[in-house]
Structure 1
Amino acid sequence: MLITRQHTKVLIVGAGPSGLMMAAQLLRHGVQPIIIDSKQGPTDQSKALAVQARSLEIYRQMGIVDRVLANGKQAGGVVFNQNGKVLAELSLANTGKGETKYPFIHLYQQSKNERLLLDFLTVNCCPVYWDTNLLSVTQTAERAEVQLQSGTETVTLTCDWMVGADGAHSEVRKQLQIPFNGDTYAHEFYLADVELDNQQLTGEQVQLYLSKKGFAGFFPMPEQNCYRVIGNLPEGVEPREDLQIEEVLPHLNSIAEMDMKVVHIKWFTTYRLHHRMADRFRQQRCFLVGDAAHIHSPVGGQGMNTGLQDAYNLAWKLAGVINGQLKEAILETYAAERMPVAKGLLNTTDAVFKVVMSINRLNMLFKKWIMPGLLKFVWSKENLRNVFFRRVSQIFINYRHSAIRLHLSHAKNVKAGDRLPYLKVFDEKKQEETDLHEWCAKPGFTLIVLGKLQEIDLFTLAKWITQNYSANLNFFYLPPSAKNEEVFKTFEIKEGKKKALIIRPDMHIGLINDVVDIGMMDNYLNNVLGLMKTG
């Protein structure tokens, strides 16, 4: 399919999870992008497997989470093994109960995520232009011009903005000459999607095997008896295109100390792991998201989820600028908010990966004698389990130091910049239970007022919104009641007091104020956030 348009508001290069999420979020906010990819079409060969709670919350906001839940499965737990013996067994069931609607790690292949988002694009009449390569990029202060190779045709396209979501070998990043600093791990790895007939594998738990000979992991997939197997190539086996799984099975069997009975091989490949980060996430009219901006080891299943959140963060800001609702300065907050997240993730996954892969004597002694007890101790403490879940699920990520947050409150537990807590709410008017995240399902910002207001105050608030922010600000009011005590407790609202919250489109809190003051909210929306009035 040939691109016939000569200009687009947004060009997205790359139709992996990050690029597809970027397109889907722009569509939610009323912007129709063009998205291209050099591949011939969607593929079922992908490395990422875990979908974390924060990503599930995004899918819920988009109205497509039910499909994700129905076609995936929860990881029941993680088992650490060494020399044929169980070192530690950690249950993951409801680890994050009360923190999110999805208190688990969900196993749902990257390829399924991509098809889910492709279907969302199809419903919204946004095709992906496959077999389309980026040849060159030139920029001015107002726009970018690109040369594309689409099949046998060369196409010139201008765009107001461009998003590079084209992976670790990003052509966008190369064209912009943005350094991609970091290193490549020394080990060579293999990945196999296989059907196995081994009773030792329950299909519910992630099995990790640590050995002097290397590492192997078995990740249960949603399909019956199917696993994603990851391990390091044994010494003497060189990575090559025609390498077969049979050549690594003896090494895998020795690490796991069991005879792998392979029924069917769906996919087998070799690869190397990197830990790198782009010097900049933005250059003039171009942005980088996902693997184009940062790559790291697969520890903790963070990569794909981080890319989805990159796109989630950038899309509402970019759409707001394009739609004339937000001042262009807000685009500077994308890199300011997401680069620290990427840097922290690189440091954490790198440290854990080195411990897992190290075979020096002290490290092996640590993994055999100290690590099991340490893991069991940590897992026995509810507060430590909670810290683990909040980090792995990515619900802990906050933007407390962002330029577009304003904390005008004595509250210490929840602050402006935090992800809006998942709290159940009883709607006294409708006499039904809902939750704060459900209140933020619509595109745009959400004003939540907690506390008792007089009818005249509610009328004044509604009038202010209608006259100034009718297209951008959704309004919800929650008076105190016995069934909503937990909400008021979480936000540290004392009896007789009130609180105003303005929630960003990505469900992070922009403003918390201990008073409900229209002038102060106007100041935040206009001067801090840069939101234009519609009246």
Structure 2
Amino acid sequence: MIALPKQTEVLIVGAGPSGLMMAAQLLRHGVIPTIIDTRQGPTNQSKALAVQARSLEIYRQMGVVEQVLKEGKPAAGAMLHREGKVMATLPLQNAGTGQTPYPYVLMFPQSKNERVLLDYLTLNCCPVYWQTSLVTLKQTESGVEAELQTRDNTQMVNCGYVVGADGAHSVVRKQLGIPFNGDTYQHKFYLADIKINNSFTDDFVHLFLSNKGFAGFFLMPEESNFRVVGNLPAALDNDAEKKFDDVLPHLRAITALPLDVEKVNWFTIYKLHHRMAEKFSDGRCFLVGDAAHIHSPVGGQGMNTGLQDAYNLAWKLAGVVNKQFVPGILNSYAEERMPVARDLLNSTDKVFNMVTSQSLFSNFVKRFIVPPALKFFGKSDKMRAAFFKGVSQTGISYRNSTLNRQLGYQAIIQAGDRLPYLEIFDEKKQTKTDIHAWCSKPGFTLITIGIIQESYLFTLAKWITQKYNLTLNFFHLPPSDKNQHVLDRFEVRPGQRKALIIRPDMHIGYMNDIVDIEMMDAYLRDVVGFVV
């Protein structure tokens, strides 16, 4: 076993998706963290399955998206069943066309996400210290003292910062004394990975609602394999030992299908919770993923939200560690991510309670309201696009963040929004690309749009080289027929221009109708907190 370091800039507790993404993003920004986990190693038993478009955009920025797409399977949409009949179909394949390079929901299990991220860490010489747990932590004025337990002994590690990515039972959160407010859903649920003979021949997620309960069949990348989630029958609630065969009769009753199960790869019984930490940070310690918030599996949001937490925090933390930013920027992590978690908790809780409830009102809604509503949604491209924007997490915005500066005309797209995905023609290289590709390198990206004299473009480049070399990338998009749609999207009228400064997480930080060095410098220095 590789010996633990006695000192580290960042200690990450937990090597699930959130912790691994945190480590990978820190590596992208020049910080080598120490990451530990109590488990013996990676596991194939994981609950999360859906990877949303926003997460795929992160994988693209990291250069690993092709591997994810190769091993995953896009879902065609959702199909709602009741009493053996298809009640409604909501097609989602390509619902996000024009919004993202990945206009679908990709089925790619959590375990495979972890493997992709572990491979990224390995290529960057960052090991995971398995069978290592956090015992205690103590914050000091200059850092954090962490007591770690390995297989062989106990060791003290001095840390600059600690990131708790250690799940719902987070030791980091408990050590910090941060309340985890919320509740546990009353009923128990089961989850199984199974292979079915003569199974569904399409790529839809199949949802079964009845007065007896509910069940969901989620396609997996492997042929005829499905992840099944359902409510545990009340008759089995007190049984100590349960197997998939015990719930199979109930599952057949709900689906009204024979379900010829060839193989059960994994089966577990669990309870679901909806909780959120009272705060996401305390001094030099931070919480991400399930350590900060847990909720129902509605919409496949959980793992993706944890990945976004890490994506948001990592570039800020790396900038502070590398002495590029003042430490105050770290306050924006909780400021930006807590409202997202709170909204997600509220929305998923309402939907999940309706799906699982067996009340007369809920059964009436599921039978007579939900199917026609889904049919109506399915027929409207505009509504499907709006639904996709929400479920894909591409619609998340930080407009109220203190890291924004919106100047000039209050456009439809504003500072705090995710940079929209737009295909562009690169006039310099004479090739087709897209605006996200311009933001693929670590650091901030300045994008100027419109007519700007060449001499001033050289002045901008000189300013960047002298004050923000390697931390601010620069691209210019002049007006042209091939790129008119970009100017239209940003509402740049003839004779006008616009300056955008894109954050490392591809959210717009600064937006102005004037391309002015002093104003941009003031934003980077006074708002972001660059040390120059």
State the match for 2:164 in structure 1: 164
Question: How far off its partner does 1:169 sit?
Answer: 0.7
Q: CA RMSD in A?
A: 1.0
Q: Distance in 1 between matches of 2:65 and 2:86?
A: 35
State the match for 1:404 in structure 2: 403
Question: What whole-Å deviation, never above 9, does each CA across 1:248-279 have from its counterpart, x for those lacking one?
Answer: 00000000001111111110001000000000
State the match for 2:129 in structure 1: 129
SS at structure 2 position matched to 1:300 = helix
Q: Distance in 1 between matches of 2:4 and 2:313?
A: 27
The question of whether the paired residues in 1 share the 8 Å contact of 2:92 and 2:384 is answered with no
Q: Which amino acid aligns with 1:447?
A: L
Does 1:376 pair with 2:375? yes
The question of whether the paired residues in 2 share the 8 Å contact of 1:417 and 1:510 is answered with yes
State the match for 2:12 in structure 1: 12
Q: Distance in 2 between matches of 1:186 and 1:242?
A: 20
State the match for 2:65 in structure 1: 65
Question: What whole-Å deviation, never above 9, does each CA across 1:374-400 have from its counterpart, x for those lacking one?
Answer: 111122222211110000000000000
Q: Distance in 2 between matches of 1:152 and 1:257?
A: 54
Q: Distance in 2 between matches of 1:365 and 1:306?
A: 32
Point out where structure 1 has 5 or more consecutive residues left out of the alignment. Answer: none
Does 1:480 pair with 2:479? yes
Question: How far off its partner does 1:471 sit?
Answer: 2.0
Q: Which amino acid aligns with 1:302?
A: Q
Q: Distance in 2 between matches of 1:265 and 1:377?
A: 37
Question: What whole-Å deviation, never above 9, does each CA across 1:395-419 have from its counterpart, x for those lacking one?
Answer: 0000000001000131421000000
Q: Distance in 2 between matches of 1:298 and 1:241?
A: 25
Q: Distance in 2 between matches of 1:4 and 1:365?
A: 58
Q: Aligned runs of 1:443-482 on 2, under 5 Å? A: 443-482=442-481
The question of whether the paired residues in 1 share the 8 Å contact of 2:424 and 2:483 is answered with yes
Question: What whole-Å deviation, never above 9, does each CA across 1:189-236 have from its counterpart, x for those lacking one?
Answer: 01000110134x125110000011111000010001000011011111
Does 1:314 pair with 2:318? no
SS at structure 1 position matched to 2:298 = coil
The question of whether the paired residues in 2 share the 8 Å contact of 1:500 and 1:513 is answered with yes
State the match for 2:268 in structure 1: 269
Cα gap change, 1:256/1:449 in structure 2, threshold over 3 Å: closer, same or farther?
Answer: same
Cα gap change, 1:233/1:28 in structure 2, threshold over 3 Å: closer, same or farther?
Answer: same
Q: Distance in 1 between matches of 2:83 and 2:29?
A: 53
The question of whether the paired residues in 2 share the 8 Å contact of 1:411 and 1:492 is answered with no
Question: How far off its partner does 1:240 sit?
Answer: 6.3
The question of whether the paired residues in 2 share the 8 Å contact of 1:447 and 1:503 is answered with yes
Point out where structure 2 has 5 or more consecutive residues left out of the alignment. Answer: none
State the match for 2:191 in structure 1: 191
Cα gap change, 1:386/1:243 in structure 2, threshold over 3 Å: closer, same or farther?
Answer: same
Q: TM-score, normalised on structure 1? A: 0.98
Q: Which amino acid aligns with 2:357?
A: S
Q: Aligned runs of 1:195-206 on 2, under 5 Å? A: 195-199=195-199, 201-206=200-205
Q: Aligned runs of 1:221-370 on 2, under 5 Å? A: 221-238=220-237, 242-370=241-369
The question of whether the paired residues in 1 share the 8 Å contact of 2:299 and 2:391 is answered with yes
Q: Distance in 1 between matches of 2:52 and 2:63?
A: 17
Question: What whole-Å deviation, never above 9, does each CA across 1:477-521 have from its counterpart, x for those lacking one?
Answer: 010000001100000000010000000000000000001000100
Q: Which amino acid aligns with 1:56?
A: L
Q: Which amino acid aligns with 2:421?
A: Y
Cα gap change, 1:129/1:241 in structure 2, threshold over 3 Å: closer, same or farther?
Answer: farther
Runs of 4 or more off by more than 4 Å in structure 1? Answer: none
Question: How far off its partner does 1:176 sit?
Answer: 0.9
Question: What whole-Å deviation, never above 9, does each CA across 1:417-466 have from its counterpart, x for those lacking one?
Answer: 00000000101221110001000000000000001111111111111111
Q: Distance in 1 between matches of 2:369 and 2:32?
A: 54
Question: How far off its partner does 1:142 sit?
Answer: 1.4
Q: Distance in 1 between matches of 2:486 and 2:61?
A: 20
Question: How far off its partner does 1:3 sit?
Answer: 3.1
Q: Which amino acid aligns with 1:25?
A: Q
Q: Distance in 2 between matches of 1:436 and 1:182?
A: 40
Q: Which amino acid aligns with 1:401?
A: N
Q: Which amino acid aligns with 2:116?
A: L
The question of whether the paired residues in 1 share the 8 Å contact of 2:90 and 2:377 is answered with no
The question of whether the paired residues in 1 share the 8 Å contact of 2:502 and 2:510 is answered with yes
Q: Distance in 1 between matches of 2:363 and 2:411?
A: 42
Question: What whole-Å deviation, never above 9, does each CA across 1:334-381 have from its counterpart, x for those lacking one?
Answer: 000000000000000001101111111122122111221111112222
Q: Distance in 1 between matches of 2:238 and 2:32?
A: 42
Q: Would you say how many aligned residue pairs link Structure 1 and Structure 2?
A: 532
State the match for 1:516 in structure 2: 515
Q: Which amino acid aligns with 1:414?
A: I
SS at structure 2 position matched to 1:186 = strand
The question of whether the paired residues in 2 share the 8 Å contact of 1:3 and 1:155 is answered with no
The question of whether the paired residues in 2 share the 8 Å contact of 1:411 and 1:491 is answered with no
Q: Distance in 1 between matches of 2:451 and 2:290?
A: 47
Percent identity for Structure 1 against Structure 2 = 60
Question: How far off its partner does 1:2 sit?
Answer: 4.5
Q: Distance in 2 between matches of 1:92 and 1:98?
A: 14
SS at structure 2 position matched to 1:192 = strand
Does 1:84 pair with 2:76? no
Question: What whole-Å deviation, never above 9, does each CA across 1:128-164 have from its counterpart, x for those lacking one?
Answer: 0000011111111211111111002111111000000
The question of whether the paired residues in 2 share the 8 Å contact of 1:418 and 1:509 is answered with yes
Question: How far off its partner does 1:241 sit?
Answer: 6.8
Q: Distance in 2 between matches of 1:99 and 1:20?
A: 27
SS at structure 1 position matched to 2:511 = strand
SS at structure 1 position matched to 2:515 = coil
Q: Distance in 1 between matches of 2:36 and 2:477?
A: 44
Question: How far off its partner does 1:239 sit?
Answer: 6.3
Q: Which amino acid aligns with 1:94?
A: N
Q: Distance in 1 between matches of 2:202 and 2:140?
A: 54
The question of whether the paired residues in 2 share the 8 Å contact of 1:203 and 1:225 is answered with no
Q: Distance in 2 between matches of 1:71 and 1:399?
A: 32
Q: Which amino acid aligns with 2:487?
A: F
Q: Distance in 1 between matches of 2:229 and 2:238?
A: 14
SS at structure 1 position matched to 2:300 = coil
Q: Distance in 1 between matches of 2:507 and 2:523?
A: 15
State the match for 2:433 in structure 1: 434
State the match for 1:147 in structure 2: 147
Cα gap change, 1:207/1:286 in structure 2, threshold over 3 Å: closer, same or farther?
Answer: same
Q: Distance in 2 between matches of 1:237 and 1:338?
A: 39
SS at structure 2 position matched to 1:98 = coil
Q: Distance in 1 between matches of 2:233 and 2:469?
A: 62
Q: Which amino acid aligns with 2:303?
A: M
Q: Distance in 2 between matches of 1:95 and 1:409?
A: 33
Q: Distance in 2 between matches of 1:388 and 1:412?
A: 23
The question of whether the paired residues in 2 share the 8 Å contact of 1:21 and 1:311 is answered with yes
Q: Distance in 2 between matches of 1:345 and 1:157?
A: 35
Q: Which amino acid aligns with 1:443?
A: P
Cα gap change, 1:229/1:426 in structure 2, threshold over 3 Å: closer, same or farther?
Answer: same
